[in-house]
Structure 1
Amino acid sequence: MVGWACRGLRAVMKIHKLNGSARGRGGVAHPVYRHVELLRVLLAREITARTSGTVLGASWMLLQPALQTAAIWFLLQVVLRIRFPELQGGFTEYYLAGMVPWLMLSEIMLRSLSILQEYAPIYQRTAFPVALIPLLPPILSGAIYILIYLVVAAMFGGSVAAASSVIYMLFLLVWLLPVIYLLAIIGVFIRDAQQIAPFILTMVLYLTPIFYLPTAMPNWLAWWLLINPFAHIVGIAHAVIGGQPLHFGGLIGLGAIWLILAYPTWRMFRRVEPMIREAL
């Protein structure tokens, strides 16, 4: 698989004369628009690597999370029939509105920790725009979960909620970009991060109002809802699909986090890029 990928990537890079442009500077968009064809080859390689040997092939990338979401709906709506009187749309709608974005975010973040190691055999052998590689998880997982969330939003909120859900998920992907590059760096130089990250994300999930209402949080932990960015992300999701009130303070806080992280993280990634090649 690596040999096939390397041959394809070398061909594309030769066509686009990447040996001279791989050292270019600029923002995240710079390597994307300069190397669209290379990005397409990388995405195709990623899909093939994850679904090779299966009967349904690339369809599994959509079917797997879709079946997981359907199983959650069946458990909550048909079997448990959980009800909260204070919720207008019911607990199933409330839960899926927050859980589907969380599944996307957690999958992308975990994948970002190891993505550079997985592609090390490719970019170690030739001049290569390494900045493209961390974009693979958000592009693939984002496309899949946007479709799933679109269906969930249409089921519970109608066409307006469905359209809003697409904008919301795209907003999440853009917001996550600095985090993705930061995690990619951490995954290279602090290998233990890959081992502890699932536990940390599980604890953050339990401390984010997805399984329960914000009012269920103990008073001595109420401060956590204010500083937890994922609580604000879930709050926006409930406003988009469930009709819950939107707290603009959380939206402003997410924007502030993005502004604080975006430029420093990108500069850090470009500065440590030669070290990444050496470390791997």
Structure 2
Amino acid sequence: MIDHPISPRCMIGTLLSYRGLIKRLVARDFAARYRGSVMGVVWAVLTPLIMAAVYLFVFGIVFQSRWGAEQQGTFTVTLLVGLVVHGVFAEALSRAPTIVLGNPSYVKKVVFPLEILPIVAVLNALVTAAIGLTIVITIHFALSGRLSPTLPLLPAVLLPLLLAVLGLVYLLSSVGVFFRDLLQIVGLVVTASMFLAPIFYPISAVPDPYRTLLYLNPLTFAVEQARAVVLYGKAPDWLGLTVFTVAGATSAWLGYAWFQRTRRGFADVM
């Protein structure tokens, strides 16, 4: 029985050693989404625009949701930033339970580095988010006539979330092989997470006893900090960002270790 390495150095080495293959798989998966459609990759831009319009109508017009007057930017871009950040979490986790199940040939018939599949899933979610963020920044510039000076700090703000999501994807992609009901459970969690983070409402609107609970959701910190650097021109909370980065890196490694320890049983149940 092959004993797959689980050290953090091996996890980083996986990313570096197979970076060419990872890049090709990300490009292939992105192209496969729109293969055969008339409009092709235009849907990658059109879909978030349509969904944004729907959310804005429901929450901005019907429910007349607002952020405090002391904050800069409009309700439109404030909401969109939250949706884009949540989209990284939602897309990656929604795919996680079927990442290994959907590639049985990689498990049974060929020698393939299965540990890169969760990385590919997270990077695909990041590509989608990059398109959404480009749209948000463009709208923000059109409405305000300026770009936030702290905008270049956005990658540093999103990195901890990406690491945390990678750890969850490693875990769920492994568990999904043995527990097929996981896909339905993850769908419920993803939906609930959208409303248990300050996406459609400001964190200041949440009563104090419940605000602490919302901060247990990793999306809350990521959404708040992304808005700070993209819209408000504020530097991120460096202490919180450091703690979140350490926690995210730990999550990524623990998920990777679990995946490597359990992958030997994949072929037996597929």
Q: TM-score range by the shorter chain?
A: 0.7 to 0.9
> How far has the Cα of 1:66 moved from its partner?
4.3
Q: 2:43 corresponds to which letter in structure 1? A: W
Q: Contact 1:138 / 1:173 at 8 angstroms: preserved in 2?
A: yes
Cα gap change, 1:262 to 1:138, in 2 (>3 Å): closer
Choose 171-180 or 115-124, whichever is displaced more: 171-180
Matched, 1:103 2:93: no
Q: C-alpha separation between the residues in 2 aligned to 1:174 and 1:258?
A: 5
In structure 1, the partner of 2:154 is: 165
Matched, 1:128 2:112: yes
TM-score by length of 2: 0.80
Q: C-alpha separation between the residues in 2 aligned to 1:120 and 1:141?
A: 22
In structure 1, the partner of 2:143 is: none
Count the aligned residue pairs.
259
Choose 217-226 or 71-80, whichever is displaced more: 71-80
SS of 1:31's equivalent in the other structure is helix
Matched, 1:113 2:79: no
List runs of 5+ in structure 1 lacking aligned partners. Answer: 1-22
Which of 216, 234, 251 is residue 261 of structure 1 equivalent to? 251
In structure 1, the partner of 2:121 is: 137
List runs of 5+ in structure 2 lacking aligned partners. Answer: 141-145
Q: C-alpha separation between the residues in 1 aligned to 2:34 and 2:242?
A: 39
Matched, 1:47 2:36: no
Q: 1:154-207 deviations in whole A, cap 9, x for unaligned?
A: 542516354333454455334432222122122222222210112222222212
Q: 1:85-120 deviations in whole A, cap 9, x for unaligned?
A: 343323223212212111121111111221111112
> How far has the Cα of 1:68 moved from its partner?
2.8
SS of 2:10's equivalent in the other structure is coil
TM-score by length of 1: 0.77
Q: C-alpha separation between the residues in 2 aligned to 1:245 and 1:163?
A: 10
Q: 2:231 corresponds to which letter in structure 1? A: G
Q: C-alpha separation between the residues in 2 aligned to 1:160 and 1:226?
A: 26
Which of 2, 14, 19 is residue 31 of structure 1 equivalent to? 14
In structure 1, the partner of 2:178 is: 189
In structure 1, the partner of 2:74 is: 90
Q: Contact 1:89 / 1:242 at 8 angstroms: preserved in 2?
A: yes
Which of 255, 259, 267 is residue 277 of structure 1 equivalent to? 267
Q: C-alpha separation between the residues in 2 aligned to 1:43 and 1:260?
A: 24
Cα gap change, 1:251 to 1:39, in 2 (>3 Å): closer
SS of 2:149's equivalent in the other structure is helix
Q: C-alpha separation between the residues in 1 aligned to 2:250 and 2:21?
A: 30
Among the aligned pairs, what percent are the same residue?
A: 26
Q: C-alpha separation between the residues in 2 aligned to 1:264 and 1:35?
A: 20
- The alignment yields a C-alpha RMSD, in angstroms, of 3.1
Which of 151, 161, 166 is residue 177 of structure 1 equivalent to? 166
Q: Contact 1:178 / 1:261 at 8 angstroms: preserved in 2?
A: yes
Higher relative CO (CA 8 A, sep ≥ 6), structure 1 or 2?
Answer: 2
SS of 1:53's equivalent in the other structure is coil
Q: C-alpha separation between the residues in 1 aligned to 2:171 and 2:212?
A: 26
Q: 1:3-30 deviations in whole A, cap 9, x for unaligned?
A: xxxxxxxxxxxxxxxxxxxx67753332
The 5 A counterparts of 1:241-260 are 241-243=230-232, 246-260=236-250
Q: C-alpha separation between the residues in 1 aligned to 2:214 and 2:61?
A: 31
Q: Contact 1:114 / 1:194 at 8 angstroms: preserved in 2?
A: yes
SS of 2:227's equivalent in the other structure is helix
Structure with a larger share of its residues in helix: 1
Q: 1:128-167 deviations in whole A, cap 9, x for unaligned?
A: 1111111222222212211321331354251635433345
In structure 2, the partner of 1:7 is: none
In structure 2, the partner of 1:19 is: none
Q: 1:47 corresponds to which letter in structure 2? A: F
SS of 1:160's equivalent in the other structure is coil
Choose 56-65 or 177-186, whichever is displaced more: 56-65
Q: Contact 2:80 / 2:136 at 8 angstroms: preserved in 1?
A: yes
